[in-house]
Each structure stands twice: as structure tokens, then as C-alpha cells.
Structure 1
């Protein structure tokens, strides 16, 4: 298990993570620190816990919006797949009918 030290609102926090995930964790902490910094600049010193809770809620709000977008895209993709299957079935059916008509108009000679 690896450890990294991250900075949130000017305070250092030592955290554990899986080997190879150090840079990822550091990046996440930097992004979270930006939320805290934004709130701090907007509201001033309102307490560490309150700033952290508010930043966490902002992150969860963004996550919720992204999840909604993903679900909408999955539905569009699913509908497109259903449409593709329907079109394929219709085209196959049309090809079969055209073949039947062609055989009626000009039957193939028997061997």
C-alpha cells in the first residue's frame, strides 16, 4: 500500500492508496482543493468542516448531473441499437421479397 501527502485548504493529509495510484489520488485532492478554495473565496472563513461539507456536496451535485447525462446517452445508444436491429430486419425482409419477385418474373432454369 502506497501513501501520499495531499494538501486541502493549506493543510497536509497523509493518505493511503493502491500502488501506482499516487498521482491519481494527488490529482483528485488538487481538484477537491479547488472546490474548497472557491467556496472559501466566496464565503470567507466559515470553518473547515463546513467548507469541506459544502465542497463535498458540490462534487456530489456534479456527479449526479454526470450520471444523468450518462443514463441519457445510454438510452439514446440503446434506442439506436434497437433501430439498427429493426432496420436490418426490414431490409432482410425486403431482400427476401425482391428475390421472390425476381424468381416469379424470371425463374431460374432447373438443373
Structure 2
């Protein structure tokens, strides 16, 4: 297990993480530090715990909003794909009917030609 030291609002925190996750944890720590500093500038130094809770809530709110947007977009894309597939199926059925009709007409012409040829032989 790896250890990482991150700085949040001027205080050092030692955290453990899986090997290879150190850079990611550092980036996440930097984002949290930026959010805490932004809140501290806005509300003042109201205590580390309160700033961390506020940062956690605002980040959770953003995550919730993004998740909702992704879900909404996924639903729209699914509906569009369903609509497109139904249209493609309808077009394929139409093409199948046209092809069947053409084959029937061709078979009728072949039968007429065969009948004419049979009449000429007699």
C-alpha cells in the first residue's frame, strides 16, 4: 500500500492508497484543496471541518447534477436509437415487399414467355 501526503487548506494529510493510484489521489486532493480555498475566500476561515463539509457537499452536488445529465442524455440517446432502429426495420420491410413484388412480376412475365414459347412449338 502506497502513502500520499496531500495539502488541504494549509494542513497536511497522510493517506494510504493502492499502488499506482498515487497520482490520481494527488489530483483529487488538489481539487479538494482548490474547492476548500474557494470556500474559505468566500466565507472566511470558519474551521477546517466546516469547510471540508461544505466542499464535500458542493462537490457531491456537482456530481449529482452531472450524473443526472448523463442519465438524461443516455435516455435521449436510447430513445433516438430505438426510433432509428424502428425506422430502419420499416424501411427493410418496405424493401422486402418491393423485392417480393418485383420477383412475383418477373415470375409472371417468365410464365407468359414460357407459355408463348410453348404455343409456338405446337
Q: Same fold (TM over 0.5)?
A: yes
For 1:89 and 1:99, the matched residues in 2 are separated by: 15
Q: TM-score, normalised by structure 2?
A: 0.84
User: What pairs up with 1:1-111 in 2 under 5 angstroms?
Assistant: 1-107=1-107, 109=110
Residue range with higher mean Cα deviation, 49-58 or 83-92 = 83-92
How far did residue 81 of structure 1 move?
A: 2.0
**After TM superposition, which residue ranges in structure 1, 4 or more long, deviate above 4 angstroms?**
none
RMSD: 1.5
Listed as ranges, the gaps of 5+ residues in structure 2 are 112-122
For 1:4 and 1:109, the matched residues in 2 are separated by: 83
How far did residue 80 of structure 1 move?
A: 2.0
Q: TM-score, normalised by structure 1?
A: 0.92
For 2:82 and 2:31, the matched residues in 1 are separated by: 39
Kindly provide the CA deviation profile for residues 38-64 of structure 1, in whole angstroms up to 9, marking residues without a partner as x.
000011111111111111100001001
Helix, strand or coil for the counterpart of 1:46? coil
For 1:13 and 1:80, the matched residues in 2 are separated by: 48
How far did residue 84 of structure 1 move?
A: 2.4
Listed as ranges, the gaps of 5+ residues in structure 1 are none
Residue range with higher mean Cα deviation, 79-88 or 99-108 = 99-108
